Structure 1
Amino acid sequence: MVSKHEAAEAVREAKVRTGITWAQLAEAVGKPLAWTTAALLGQHPMEKDDATTAAALLELGDDVAMAFQLQPSRGALESAVPVDPTIYRLYEVVQVYGPTIKELIHEQCGDGIMSAINFRLDVRRVPDPAGDRVVITLDGKYLPYQW
């Protein structure tokens, strides 16, 4: 049996080999881009039809399609402080702006949190005369604490 981690590595290799983009995979399975990417990287279980479609597009076998359907152990970081530069910058953003985000959530919404379960994510490139920008939208349902 192929593990979710092994399947994710197979996906990354197959994307290079086939030239298929994350957007093409998301369109083929009919799911949002960020969700599809996360699922194929092992962070969400896929329905059988979606898993089969993705595996076929990537020219991967039934064993990988099966791994796409497994329930994951969520969390992909291998260390408490990430070392990959892109992921570290997101960690840095939370370190610097986390308290600000928390304060603004509490001020605007009340005592509660942003859900990471009822959640949407978008990443896009925006042209800018001073150099292109990356816009990351984290869109989570507000969950009030209930005492």
Structure 2
Amino acid sequence: MTKNDMRDAILEAKASKGLSWEHIAERVGCAPVFVCATCLGEHSMTQDQAEKLTSVLGLNAEVATALTEIPTKALQGEALMNDPLIYRLKEINLVYGETIKQLIQEKFGDGIMSAIDFTMDIDRIEDPDGDRVQLTMSGKFLPYKRW
């Protein structure tokens, strides 16, 4: 089973059961962002996590095996950038990217934020002027090596 076949099976089962990513993640014992990204083919799970996930969704061992395989990341590529919601995130980086870089390096020094040692939460913040999306990203700071 390919990662794309796995993704399709998971999305179909999720929709047919009417489950949220938060519900699935709670049952698996992982963060919703991690579970969703894994199900979309961007990460891999332990065998135990994969078995819990496939049990929740009523899927077979072939899907569980695919969930444990190391993925090739970002296969959606530039096509994904055309989605309006995704493009807004790109736009945020185009407008605020240099500011983010300046402020991180002012606080931490010359380096980067890891996308490997990383967590993210997505929350809905109720607001009388229109609900807000709150993205909280936390990545380990990795200083550039000097040699």
TM-score normalized with structure 1 length: 0.93
Alpha-carbon distance in 1 for matches of 2:129, 2:109:
37
Further displaced range: 58-67 or 78-87: 78-87
Alpha-carbon distance in 1 for matches of 2:75, 2:37:
10
Root-mean-square deviation (CA), in Å?
1.4
Structure 1 residues 25 and 118 mapped into 2: Cα distance closer, same or farther (>3 Å)?
Answer: same
Taking the TM superposition and a 5 Å limit, the aligned residue runs for 1:1-12 are 2-12=1-11
Alpha-carbon distance in 1 for matches of 2:75, 2:24:
21
Match for residue 111 of structure 2?
112
3-state DSSP class of the match of 1:142? strand
Return the letter of the residue paired with 2:96: Y
Match for residue 83 of structure 1?
82
Match for residue 18 of structure 1?
17
Alpha-carbon distance in 2 for matches of 1:17, 1:81:
24
Moved beyond 2 Å, runs of 4+? none
CA displacement at 1:85 relative to structure 2: 1.2
Match for residue 99 of structure 1?
98
The answer to whether residue 86 in structure 2 is matched with residue 73 in structure 1 is: no
Structure 1 residues 81 and 4 mapped into 2: Cα distance closer, same or farther (>3 Å)?
Answer: closer
CA displacement at 1:77 relative to structure 2: 2.9
Alpha-carbon distance in 2 for matches of 1:101, 1:60:
42
Aligned partners of 2:25 and 2:31 also within 8 Å = yes
Return the letter of the residue paired with 1:7: M
Alpha-carbon distance in 1 for matches of 2:96, 2:72:
27
Alpha-carbon distance in 2 for matches of 1:23, 1:46:
17
Return the letter of the residue paired with 1:96: V
CA displacement at 1:78 relative to structure 2: 2.9
1:14-71 CA-partner distances (Å, limit 9, x unpaired): 1110112111111111111211111111111111121111112112222111111110
CA displacement at 1:94 relative to structure 2: 1.0
The answer to whether residue 103 in structure 2 is matched with residue 122 in structure 1 is: no
Q: Give the share of equivalent positions with the same residue, in percent.
A: 44
TM-score normalized with structure 2 length: 0.93
